[in-house]
Chains A and B, each alone.
Chain A
Amino acid sequence: AQRVTQPEKLLSVFKGAPVELKCNYSYSGSPELFWYVQYSRQRLQLLLRHISRESIKGFTADLNKGETSFHLKKPFAQEEDSAMYYCALSPGDSWGKLQFGAGTQVVVTP
């Protein structure tokens, strides 16, 4: 069975400081990893996918298969980054079964 762990429920950072959201997963096969974000009063939306290897809104995430991690990072946090962030796993052999982590609430203070 797959599992996604986000150890931090709440992350409070100052504007301009680096922010890192941790995500660890367990899955016996080859998963696809995503970060979804939900801003206040907005719908859940994709932030980035590991396969894209691109930076979205200054965020990057590297898939580390050895450590089974997919941490999300941004070098300089902005107030508009305040949101709930979910790490999610899609099993490589069973599409559609998106499994979310518990989520990390990020609060960026000026």
Chain B
Amino acid sequence: DTEVTQTPKHLVMGMTNKKSLKCEQHMGHRAMYWYKQKAKKPPELMFVYSYEKLSINESVPSRFSPECPNSSLLNLHLHALQPEDSALYLCASSSGLAGALDTQYFGPGTRLTVL
């Protein structure tokens, strides 16, 4: 399996809801990433996990809570989101072996709408 998969494809939630986004890869990659992409904008890095440990948090609000249960899975827990959090959330993975040269492999994204 050489793809990054994300579920669900679409998610609509209210501002008081709690939901989770899931990401999975079976390429043996040890680095995983969450990005946020607004319409007609480039992806913006949110979090990076390296060997299941959070290594980068780009000052993301605490209503977004990442979790890496194992080397294949990455979750993004959502709570008390705002309408401006509506966006495409992308997951990516990379080998974690090539440093800055690591190629990132992206999932198809989860389209989130916050009402």
Using a CB–CB distance below 8 Å, which chain A residues touch chain B? Answer: 31-32, 34, 43-46, 49, 51, 86, 90-103
Contacts and interface: CB of A to CB of B under 8 A. Distances in A.
A95 B100 contact: yes
A46 B31 contact: no
B60 interface: no
Contacts of B42: 86, 100-103
8 A-B pairs with least C-beta separation: A100-B42, A44-B106, A96-B48, A90-B100, A95-B99, A32-B100, A95-B100, A43-B108
A72 to B, nearest CB: 15
A98 B47 CA distance: 11
Interface in B99-115: 99-109
A96 B102 contact: yes
A43 B109 CA distance: 8
A85 to B, nearest CB: 11
Given A49-B101, A100-B42, 19 more contacts: A43-B107, A44-B43, A44-B90, A46-B104, A46-B105, A86-B42, A86-B43, A90-B100, A90-B102, A95-B98, A95-B102, A96-B55, A96-B94, A97-B45, A97-B48, A99-B45, A100-B43, A101-B42, A102-B41
Interface in B23-53: 31, 33, 41-45, 48, 50
Interface of B: 4, 31, 33, 41-45, 48, 50, 55-56, 90, 94, 98-109
Contacts of B48: 96-97
Nearest to B37: A44
Most interface-central of A43, A92, A93, A100 (chain B CB within 10 A): A43
A18 B90 CA distance: 32
A103 B39 CA distance: 12
B57 to A, nearest CB: 11
B106 A96 contact: no
Contacts of A98: 33, 45, 104
B9 to A, nearest CB: 12
Contacts of B41: 102-103
Contact of B106 (A34, A43, A97): A43
